[in-house]
Amino acid sequence: METEVTKCSVERNTYEIKEKELIIENTRLLEHIICQHVMSVVMHANVKNVLSANKNCSEHDNLEYALLKKENDRLLELLISQDFVHTAVYSLAEIVDYQNMEKSYLDEYAECVQLKA
């Protein structure tokens, strides 16, 4: 009977861990999608404003476009590198949180086993 209760408790803890992992992953994906959407809106708004403001001179338009494209490419590279760094740091934090949670469950389980013995 005690082993069944212990087994049920361990299974419940495993299920809770998996559920929390899924919630964390969903939150991370939502944050990433929101960031991408914001960047898309900002980049498209910038292009429309610049092109409509400089319709008088095609040479000026071409130079302005080339400069903006270079700047956008540079900013996009920075954004991507920051996203990689953020993802790596966030993943490491998730791993540490998971390990701490797992350790606390194992400690609690060991304590229960000692109390029953």
* Structural domain contains residue 90: yes
* Structural domain contains residue 49: no
DSSP reduced 3-state for 69: helix
Nearest alpha-carbon partner for 10 in 18, 63, 46, 74: 18
* Structural domain contains residue 78: yes
Q: How confident is the model at residue 1 (pLDDT cuts 50, 70, 90)?
A: confident
* Structural domain contains residue 66: no
Residue 98 pLDDT > 80, yes or no?
A: yes
* Structural domain contains residue 77: yes
Residue range of the domain that includes 109: 2-42+72-116
* Structural domain contains residue 12: yes
Count up the domains in the chain and report the number: 1
* Structural domain contains residue 63: no
C-alpha–C-alpha distance, residues 73 and 70, integer Å: 5
Residue 55 pLDDT > 60, yes or no?
A: no
pLDDT at 52: 54
Q: What is the mean pLDDT of residues 6-26?
A: 86
Cα–Cα distances (Å) from 35 to 32, 40, 45, in that order, read 5, 9, 15
- pTM (predicted TM-score): 0.36
* Structural domain contains residue 32: yes
